[in-house]
Amino acid sequence: MISADPGSAYRYSFWGKAAWALTGLMLFSTAAAFASWMERQADAFGIVLRQQQAVEIDIGRDGDLVIHADVYEETLLQKEFARFFAEQSIPYPSAFTDIGNIRAWTHTPDGNGGYRKEMVREFRTSDLATSGVFYDDYRQKTFYFPALRPGAKTVLNYRKTYREPRLWGYFVFSGALPVLHSEFSVTAPADVVLGYRVFGVNEKELAFEKQQKGNLVSYRWVLREVDKVPGSAYPGILHHAPHLVVYVKSYTYEGENRPVLSGLSDLFAWYEQFLDLENGTGIPEMKQLVDELVADRDSEPEKVEALYNWVRRNIRYIAFEDGLGGFAPRSAGTVWSRRYGDCKDMANLLFHMLEMAGIPSHHTWIGTRAIPYTHREVPTPMADNHMILTYRHGGREYFLDATDAYSRFGIPSEHIQGREALVRLGHDAYELVEVPVVAAEENRKCDTVKMYLEQGQIRGCGTLCLRGYLRNAATDVLQNKGKEGTDEYLSGLLAQGNNKFFLDSVVVGNLSDHSADLVFEYSFRLLDYQTEAGGELFLNPHFSQFAGDVQAGYAENPYGHYFPFKSVRQRLTRFRIPDRYQVGHLPGDVSWEEPDFGFSLSYRQEGSYVLIAEEFYINTLHIKPERNSAWNELVRRLGEASKEMLVLVKT
Amino acid sequence: MILLDLRAVEFEWNDPESGPDEYYTLHNRVRVHSAEAVEAFNKVYIPMDGVHEIVRLQVRVITSRGVRSTDSVQLLDYRDAGGEVHMKYFAVEGVEEGAEVEYLYTLRMDARLEGVREVFQDTDHRRKAEFMLIAPAGMTFAFRAYNGFPGPVADTVSPGKICYRASVTDLEPLRSEQYAPYYDHLARLEYRLQSMQPASGDELYSYRHLAGQLDAYFRPRSDEKKAMKKIEKLIRHLGVAQLEMPDRIRTIEDFIKERFTLTEQSDAGYDRLDRILREHVASRRGLLRLFIAAFDQAGVNYEYGLTSDREGVSFDPEFETYTYLEHYFFYFPATGQYLAPSEFFYRLGFLPYNWTHNYGLFIRPLHIGAIDTQWTEIRFIPALPAEENVDFLDIRYDILGEFDSARIRVRRSLSGYQSTYIQPVYSFLPEVDLKPLQLELLNLQGKFQSLRFLEVKHGSMSDLYQRPFEIDGTAGPELAFIEKAGNRYLMRVGELIGEQVELYQEKERRLPVQNEYNRIFRREIRVTVPPGYEVMNLEDLNYTVVPENDQPVTMAFESAARLEGNQITVSVNEYYRKIDYPVEQFGQFRRVINAAADFNKKVIVFRKTGV
């Protein structure tokens, strides 16, 4: 399912003559502040001097909205390297938008202090392959900026036309390059009512004005000296990029009020018309399968689970997102016979199969964690990019995401945790329901390992249990990859100590029982791990690698740290003290425990064994930037503690 | 499991005015056993380059639910921006685990006569792989089969037609291995048209034939006189006439590579000199034309040529086919050096390593009076010696106080291919990416957040392959690489050289060894022992692996440690001076590679003297 038009986020705009005049009056921050901003951008390949999008909304003769955006972008190239970016493209979803009137040129230094203008002569249209999508209607206009060199300026100018007003309205104030002047404006007849909301921008820095001249109202947002947006940071660029969401709430045509996205009910009504609730009921083979699957299940949830499992295991994910096909689920009959589909196709098939079994369920639109807003904040298609099915029983919701092949029944898929679901209750009836965040304890990794020394090698056997989201990746590999891929994966999963680790045997338990912990009983050899010197044996007892795992998050991160899920990781190591040795030194216990994250390490001797207990937990999906210092302290302490060795000495 | 993989080619020549038509048929039958196999075979991609129409397309899926046949699918279309890739594709309906998927398509396309490669082996088992070529009897084809695929045999099926056939049953899967020429070892067939009746005696699509066409194409055209004047002026402006030989070439190369950009849009007039000079954008062949024009003006004597990427399929000197002609290069007889005209991160003397240690077609255009002719030869492009590609690490680690703090200084110098991924881009990287890269280059990532001092030398494009990239950094006071064990301290000396590649896991080796390039690693580590402490196990750092039976010695790992006063010095040398080893020598190669990874695990223990 496609969201509005993220492609436009990185494309830029034009306001028109009036705007040029206005800009001169706009806040020029003090010269010193400006100089310091320019200085900070000195190592950027280039600076976008001006990025503008001037939108005009008209009501056409037939009463439909006509939306055009004039895009203008002027970029100063600073580095020699910039010429490697001569190739540029303008991506757009061709079913809903057109790109026209493209003009582009380079002002290239002529060597005499002036500029020479080199026009781009050729624009090509080609397909744009989107990762993970089998087919969509994204196209791109591609061209080469000529004669690039430091000091050259490129100018790009085009008109974008929106055929579906609900999929218009999105502007990112900067992109891969810093932007000196970023501007978005809309001019519309006075009775076109707009809704808008700004994200990731300090409101004080954003200049906004609304003016009315005659029957035309213009809105203008200007942000200056905008730093570039870092690449694709988890969970999604919209969490970090300064951007504006704008949409048409309603307009008047011949005295009649026409709602577009005046509230959530409009969005819902638009979504609902795409549903095909009839088709799919008349397939005897499907009915037969449904009957077989639910035959010996007693309770209703068990029946739901059986049908849900069948769909997610037997329908392959292949996404077609062409035009409204990005919003309309294909009929259950089609998906049944093809054996493939995308999220909404699978949800719809499951809906019909449940219906055959006499069980009601609910089509549900939702935005994954990549999207930072709720339906209440943004009642437009920008809030959603996914469809699931909701089943209610015993006072609780089951969020059935058929694209999630492995999560335990009753557990939502990882990427919708904490998100707000738009649940269809019936015609014209919906409800917003928050998807729960799965508790850390439900995503547990627990490794219990016994080790001993034999002929200079460490030998051992262990039991590793993986629960919840932590087991999904393993389940996928073990069920689908061949022997080669599985062996390689297991060597990585069970590795400990160093890379001279040899897995000798492994038995996997509960692979097909997705509701239980995935269990690995394994034995191994570990070479060159311990150090022997002067009759003493030195061994780092921290096999869990927690310290290494969190190092990556050590550096300052302006957005804090995001995690895909809450989790707990535990490890208990029982190391047998070799004959004729005794413990010479045991590290002291250490712990650092906060509500959101923490660890504990403890060591003790028990008979002829040294017991090492390690635990690490993340109890939040996001550590906010103001908690960075606490997180860094955890990383530091864990790092320090992980350098404490166990010493065994000859008796 | 692939039950059948048939590729059939038929040439038809109905209109003597035009060339022959090619009908290419692919027929696959696959049994899908796993979800992974379903994912792999429920989508079919049809390459459309040169294709006029899909004459026939049939799909059949057999499952427990029955047989589902169709000759109409929802065909989707994809064209990339460069205009190079065009394909049609579709999803196969009804595929589930245990199904048999069968599809067949026939394409009518531009006849491919100059050289075609059909690869029949990959990671799937093929029960039967078959090739068939049918042509009018007057057309004679040359074939060469590799790695277990049989050479096609001709028989006459019908009057006036000749049919070549080859088939093999139970073609085992082959998986890639580290340090191995994987694609070069897959079962495959190469073929091209050799002669056509009635025709002249000259072999069609021979390299000689091509050399003439290329020469005519590359030479300045009659409508490019103005552009040639500009180039003449440019060469004068660069003053290369006064320069001696390698410098003359280098100046021209730097000028072009620092100002022009490559486009993959090959058919858009970006090969015309006037357009290139105006827009500073050129296609691959356009760049070659620009270089040729400049070299001709500057009086540089050159040969140009074509070779393959040996990490794909290496150039077979004994079989002429255009499929090997992937990459253009220049060769300068005066200096014996090579140049890659469209590779912006390479400079004179350095072709991409995967083009070297490979044969190539060399062409020298000869313009004698009014006669244009070309001399061609197939020669070996040798790999550069190990001395050209040196990674040198100089590490000094001072432990301060009684293990209170530490100061580490690391200097690293990278020459030749060892700096390919760093030197050309270093000066262009933004600050935010530079910091982690610097730490990584000094093997200090994860140990320190920042450096206290840093100096980088020869980190720009103009130093490329001329001077080694040098980085010198100091960090502290963290006691990195040191662990505490009661009243002992352990130092992970082995980690100072950075994580090394390992080949620990023992698997049956099927492919021979192929190195990327010859190379040397030299490391000098000095550690000061704090007063009042001694090292308990210095001898652990003496570690040498030199394979026996490798004479002269072509690969080795040698580490030796000594103590002088309070300073430990560890010298660690490692080198690889040969590209290829037969599979029988894999064990030896593995030992040397693993020796470096073993060194990573070396730890020394400090204790108080007299305790």
Q: Which residue has the tokens 């500073």?
A: B280
> Mean pLDDT in chain B?
93
At position A166, the amino acid (one-letter code) is: R
What are the pLDDT digits (tens) for B369-404?
888 899 999 999 999 999 999 999 999 999 999 999
What are the pLDDT digits (tens) for B285-299?
999 999 999 999 999
Taking contacts as CB-CB distances below 8 angstroms, the residues of chain B near A548 are 446
A339 burial (CB, 10 Å; 0-12 / 13-18 / 19+) is buried
B364 — phi, psi (to 5°)? -120, 115
| Cα nearest neighbour of B177 on chain A | A484
Q: From the candidates A43, A87, A314, A531, which should be mutated to test the interface with B, based on the most B CB atoms within 10 A? A: A531
What is the SS3 assignment for A183-218?
EEEEEEECCCEEEEEEECCCCCCCEEEEEEECCEEE
Q: Which residues in B424-457 are b (16+ Cβ under 10 Å) and which e?
A: bbbbbbeeeebbeebbebbbbbbbbbebeebebe
Rounded Cα distance, A34 and A27, in Å: 11
Chain B interface includes A629 (CB < 8 A):
no
pLDDT of residue A15: 26
CB A554 within 8 A of CB A591: no
Mean pLDDT score, B548-559? 93
* Interchain proximity B36–A318, CB inside 8 Å: no
Say which of B79, B259, B484 has its CB closest to residue A126.
B79
Closest by CA to B342, choosing from B293, B266, B288, is: B288
pLDDT of residue A644: 96
The 8-class DSSP code of residue A22 comes to H
pLDDT of residue A17: 27
Q: Can you say how many angstroms the Cα of residue A61 is from the centroid of all Cα atoms in its chain?
A: 41
* Interchain proximity A86–B281, CB inside 8 Å: yes
CA distance B220 to chain A (A): 22
* Interchain proximity A79–B281, CB inside 8 Å: no
For chain B, the 3-state helix, strand and coil shares in percent, each to the nearest 5, are: 20, 40, 40
Q: Where are the beta strands (DSSP E) in B32-137?
A: 43-47, 51-63, 66-70, 76-79, 86-91, 100-110, 116-119, 126-136
pLDDT of residue A19: 28
Rounded Cα distance, B26 and A89, in Å: 35
pLDDT of residue A323: 80
B538 — phi, psi (to 5°)? -55, -35
CB A432 within 8 A of CB A423: yes
Q: In a 3-state reduction of DSSP, which class is residue B508? A: coil
| Polymer length of chain A | 651
Q: Can you say how many angstroms the Cα of residue A297 is from the centroid of all Cα atoms in its chain?
A: 36
CB A546 within 8 A of CB A616: yes
Q: Which residue has the tokens 């990416």?
A: B433
ipTM over 0.95: no
pLDDT of residue A14: 24
Taking contacts as CB-CB distances below 8 angstroms, the residues of chain B near A528 are 598, 601
Beta pairing, strands A501-509 & A444-454: unpaired
Say which of A43, A148, A339 has its CB closest to residue B261.
A148
Rounded Cα distance, B123 and B40, in Å: 12
The 8-class DSSP code of residue A644 comes to B
Residue A434's contacts (CB-CB under 8 Å, 6 or more residues apart) are: A418, A419, A420, A421
A178 burial (CB, 10 Å; 0-12 / 13-18 / 19+) is buried
Residue B418 burial (CB count, 10 A)? 22
Instruction: Please identify among residues 454-483 of chain A the ones whose CB lies closer than 8 Å to any CB of chain B.
Output: 479-482
Q: What is the dihedral of CA B174, B176, B182, B183, to 10 degrees?
A: 70
CA distance B405 to chain A (A): 13
The 8-class DSSP code of residue B580 comes to E
Residue B265 has pLDDT above 80, yes or no: no
pLDDT of residue A232: 62
pLDDT of residue B482: 96
Say which of B39, B279, B600 has its CB closest to residue A316.
B39
Instruction: Please identify among residues 525-564 of chain A the ones whose CB lies closer than 8 Å to any CB of chain B.
Output: 528-529, 531-534, 536, 538, 540, 548, 551, 554-555
Say which of B43, B80, B601 has its CB closest to residue A528.
B601
pLDDT of residue A7: 33
Q: What's the Rg (C-alpha) of chain B? A: 30
Residue A566's contacts (CB-CB under 8 Å, 6 or more residues apart) are: A437, A438, A439, A440, A443, A617, A618, A619, A620, A621
At position A229, the amino acid (one-letter code) is: V
Whole-prediction pTM: 0.90
Closest by CA to A309, choosing from A418, A407, A167, is: A407
What are the pLDDT digits (tens) for B22-80?
999 999 999 998 888 998 999 999 999 999 999 999 999 999 888 988 887 889 999 88
Chain B interface includes A119 (CB < 8 A):
no
Mean pLDDT score, B184-211? 86
| Cα nearest neighbour of A136 on chain B | B76
What are the pLDDT digits (tens) for B241-258?
899 989 999 999 999 998
CA distance A45 to chain B (A): 8
Q: Which residues of chain A have pLDDT under 70?
A: 1-34, 231-232, 279-281, 552-556
Mean pLDDT score, B410-420? 96
Rounded Cα distance, B138 and B534, in Å: 86
| Cα nearest neighbour of A107 on chain B | B279
* Interchain proximity A314–B96, CB inside 8 Å: yes
What the block records as the tokens of B529 is: 């022992």
